[in-house]
A and B are shown apart, each in its own frame.
Chain A
């Protein structure tokens, strides 16, 4: 079974508007971490934001916020005030912490296009 599901292969957003990228996850571990990465066309994976499974508050990093709904097992990324440079692939990931190897699982990504 897929551990991370991103149901939006592609999204468009107007510059300066907010956009939400969806992510759901599946785990039976009580302790885990959730991450979002950005991958521009150049290929490098850039870490954006982290949410721990025990964190009570939603994580925020500048224009990025993570809408964490634990009961629903969802970890949506919200980008406020979109910029042209936000156009990229976005990947949701989960780290299970049940063993020493801390495996990270990724979704298939969402391609975001920001329109001027």
Chain B
């Protein structure tokens, strides 16, 4: 079992559906991230939560809305998505208390929008 768990691992949805991606970290970290990974592109930072304070990437469409109810859980709410939103969505967490402070990633949620 990884320290960062993402559910569901695979999701297929229509453009009019509403769904949510869930991320849970068991590492006691205080910062959580959502990244979008599309083929042959750099990972795109979507949202960061640090001590539940959010910074938003202004280029993220409003059809994506994050929620961080506590330091262990992070959600990405999806509604009226477009086919170009199909991608692997990666959640990550980190602590500021280690020497390196690297990101710990989940295994990702593969989203397909029909």
Contact = CB atoms under 8 A, between A and B. Distances in A.
A44 B103 CA distance: 12
Given A43-B107, A45-B90, A104-B33, A91 B43 contact: yes
Interface residues of A, number: 25
B56 to A, nearest CB: 10
Interface string A61-89: 00000000000000000000000000000
A103 B45 contact: yes
Contact of A44 (B43, B48, B96, B105): B105
A106 B107 CA distance: 17
Given A4-B42, A102-B31, A102-B94, A47 B48 contact: no
Interface of A: 2, 4, 9, 33, 35, 37, 42-45, 47, 50, 91, 93, 95, 100-109
